[in-house]
Amino acid sequence: MKQPNICPKFEQAISLLSKRWTGLVIYQLLNGTQRFNELQSAIGVSGKVLSDRLKDLEQQGIVHREVIPDTPVIIQYSLTTKGQSMQSIIQSIESWSQDWIKPE
Amino acid sequence: MKQPNICPKFEQAISLLSKRWTGLVIYQLLNGTQRFNELQSAIGVSGKVLSDRLKDLEQQGIVHREVIPDTPVIIQYSLTTKGQSMQSIIQSIESWSQDWIKPE
DNA sequence: ATCACTAAGTTACTTTATGTAACCAACTAT
DNA sequence: ATAGTTGGTTACATAAAGTAACTTAGTGAT
């Protein structure tokens, strides 16, 4: 056993990002506040899983959910400070992908 | 539709990292060459899925698999240059996690 | 009033991914 | 001959994700 235990903070961060769609939701919200349907059609995820992910992320303090009592009601999702701080991660993935992923 | 299509390179990179265990496998291999069983016990993944992931990563040119005809045969997994270049991503996740994930 | 429509989900059901544990081949040491 | 090792694979069980229909509350059109 070379590494009997991996840093739990790192492990938690990785497990967050290892969930399908998490990265794209954050990426999308880095462009600003968005509504449920906007997110759904922008990233092509099912309503069910988007709903799950947004709950996860809200619970982790990464996403903020705001109910605006317009009619019909508007629900806006945005990143908290913690969520915005993940831009550094998204950036590094983005720049790596530009350098190393070949087209088609 | 705000963003009808996300950059395909970025999307591919994200989909790679969104697969369970991928991040930890790369993290682990950043410490140097490792054998199948070492990886397995270090990150606590089942042999089946580890086998799948290593095949994926090999096929993506991220991991190199080397057979050493010792007895019993030794199989060493290591990162290619492309794989090593992902250190920047792992780093950013690591440093974010130190700043923002609170313990327990 | 009745019908159709919208946003933001939820529900029931199907398909895919992951986990578990047993097994295998080729060899070695006892 | 028997047991042990590495690097897997296989069959079966459970969890996660996809699909499509449905819901609730309100609005506007007929």
How far, in Å, is the CA of A76 from the C1' of nucleotide D10? 48
B8 CB and strand D closer than 7 A: no
Distance, angstroms, CA A104 to C1' D1? 57
Q: Where are the domains of chain A?
A: 8-96
The CATH class that applies to domain A8-96 reads mainly alpha
Query: Over the stretch A46-57, which tens digit does the pLDDT of each residue have?
Result: 999 999 999 999
Strand partners, A64: A78
Asked if the model's pLDDT at residue A45 lies above 70, the reply is yes
Q: Are strands A74-79 and A63-68 parallel, antiparallel or unpaired?
A: antiparallel
Q: What is the rounded CA–CA span in Å between residue A90 and residue A83?
A: 11
Query: What confidence score (pLDDT) does residue B3 get?
Result: 42
Which residues of chain A are within 8 Å of residue B1 when distances are taken between CB atoms?
Answer: 38, 41-42
Dihedral angle over CA of B24, B30, B33, B34, nearest 10: -20
CA distance linking residue A24 with residue A57, whole number of Å:
12
pLDDT of residue B8: 94
Provide mean pLDDT across the span B31-48.
Answer: 96
Q: Is the peptide bond before A72 cis (omega within 30 degrees of 0)?
A: yes
Q: Which CATH architecture has domain B39-93?
A: Orthogonal Bundle (1.10)
